[in-house]
C-alpha cells in the first residue's frame, strides 16, 4: 500500500526533526504535540500541525511516534476513536520512542487484531540525525510491517537494522544505552585521571581514539559537546536515567545479575543534585566537574 501522508505524534527535539525530514522527502506530514506552542516551528518546517490527535491518527497512512514514556505510547495507541477503530486501510506505527519490550509486544498484538502493525524502532543519532535523516534505527516487528513502512524508514535513517520480532528493537536500544551510560562515566573518569597526572584530555583522547579504549563518547561526544563545554547534544539526563532504569528492570525480569550496571545506575541516580533531569546527558562525562 502506498504511503503518501505520515503522521508524527510528538514534536520535541527528535520528533520535529523527523517530521521535517519526512516533509523534505516528499511526504505530506501531519504533526501533533500536546504543546500547541510547537505549531510555529512545525509549520515553518512544512508540517501540517493538528491540535487534534484524532486528526492525525485518522488521517495518516503511516504513523511515527516520538514520545517520552511507554505509557504515553500506550495512551496514543489506545485512544478512543483513534487507530484501533480505523478500518479503511492498514496503518503501521513506527514507534521511535525508547520503551519497554513488554509494552511493545502487547501493543503490537492489539494493533494486529485491529488490522494494523507496530514496529518498535528506537533510534540513535540525536536531533542532528533526526533533522538530517541519518538516524540509526533498531527495529523489532514483522517482516510484512517492515516492508510496508520501508519508504518512511528509508527517509529517516542512514542505517536500519531489523533485529527481530516485536520488542527486539527496544531490547537492543536498552542494551546500547546501558553501555552509553557506563561509557560516559568511565571516559569522564579516565580524562580526569589524565588531567590530574599532567596530560591534557585533548592529548589523551588522541591516543584513546587511535587505540582500543575508543567509543562514541571519546570519538564524538567528547570533542563535540564535552571538551567545548557546550553540553547541548539534545538528549537529557532524565531520559538517560529512564533508559537505565528500564534496562535494570529488564535485567530483573530476566534474572540477569549485572553488578557493574547496577552501580552505574546508582551513580546516575546519585548525581541528580548536580546534573538535573533537564540537563544534557553529556554532563555526566564532564571530567572538570568535582566528583561528588
Active site residue 159: no
Cα–Cα distances in angstroms (integers) from residue 115 to residues 9, 92, 264, in the given order:
20, 9, 42
Catalytic residue among 90, 159, 173, 242: 173
Distance CA 251, CA 249 (A): 5
C-alpha cell at 136: 540509526
Sign of CA dihedral 284, 288, 289, 291: positive
H or E segment at 241? Answer: helix 237-254
Q: What are the distances in angstroms from CA 45 to CA 26, 154, 250?
A: 12, 19, 38
Percentages of the chain per state (helix, strand, coil), in multiples of 5: 55, 15, 30
Residues 6+ apart with CB under 8 A from 65: 8, 9, 10, 73, 76, 93, 94, 95, 96, 97
Q: 233 and 284 in contact (C-beta within 8 Å)? A: no
Residue pair 37/12 in contact by the 8 Å Cβ criterion: no
Round to whole Å and give the CA distance between 249 and 243: 10
Contact 191, 170 (CB under 8 A): no
Torsion of CA 161, 46, 233, 221, to 10 degrees: 50
Cβ count within 10 A of residue 249: 13
Answer yes or no: are the C-beta atoms of 190 and 41 closer than 8 Å: no
Active site residues: 173
Amino acid at each position: 500500500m502506498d504511503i503518501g501522508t505520515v503522521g508524527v505524534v510528538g514534536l520535541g527535539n527528535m520528533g520535529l526533526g523527523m517530521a521535517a525530514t519526512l516533509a523534505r522527502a516528499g511526504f505530506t506530514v501531519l504533526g501533533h504535540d500536546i504543546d500547541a506552542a510547537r505549531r510555529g516551528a512545525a509549520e515553518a518546517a512544512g508540517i501540517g500541525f493538528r491540535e487534534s490527535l484524532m486528526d492525525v491518527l485518522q488521517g495518516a497512512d503511516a504513523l511515527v511516534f516520538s514520545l517520552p514514556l511507554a505509557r504515553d505510547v500506550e495512551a496514543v495507541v489506545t485512544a478512543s476513536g483513534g487507530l484501533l477503530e480505523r478500518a479503511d486501510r492498514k496503518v503501521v506505527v513506527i514507534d521511535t520512542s525508547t520503551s519497554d519490550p513488554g509494552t511493545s509486544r502487547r501493543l503490537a498484538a492489539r494493533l494486529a487484531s485491529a488490522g494494523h502493525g507496530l514496529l518498535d524502532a528506537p533510534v540513535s543519532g540525536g536531533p542532528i540525525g533526526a533533522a538530517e535523516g541519518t538516524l540509526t534505527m533498531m527495529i523489532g516487528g514483522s517482516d510484512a510491517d517492515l516492508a510496508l513502512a520501508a519508504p518512511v524508514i528509508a527517509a529517516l535513517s542512514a542505517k536500519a537494522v531489523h533485529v527481530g520480532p516485536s520488542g527486539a528493537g527496544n531490547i537492543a536500544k536498552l542494551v546500547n544505552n546501558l553501555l552509553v551510560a557506563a561509557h560516559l562515566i568511565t571516559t569522564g573518569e579516565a580524562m580526569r585521571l589524565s588531567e590530574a597526572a599532567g596530560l591534557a584530555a585533548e592529548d589523551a583522547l588522541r591516543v584513546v581514539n587511535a587505540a582500543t579504549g575508543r567509543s562514541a563518547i571519546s570519538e564524538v561526544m567528547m570533542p563535540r559537546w564535552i571538551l567545548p563545554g557546550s553540553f547541548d547534544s539534545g538528549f537529557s539526563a532524565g531520559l538517560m536515567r529512564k533508559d537505565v532504569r528500564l534496562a535494570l528492570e529488564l535485567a530483573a525480569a530476566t534474572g540477569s545479575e549485572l553488578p557493574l550496571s547496577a552501580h552505574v545506575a546508582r551513580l546516575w541516580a546519585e548525581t541528580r543534585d548536580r546534573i538535573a533531569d533537564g540537563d544534557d546527558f553529556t554532563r555526566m562525562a564532564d571530567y572538570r566537574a568535582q566528583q561528588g
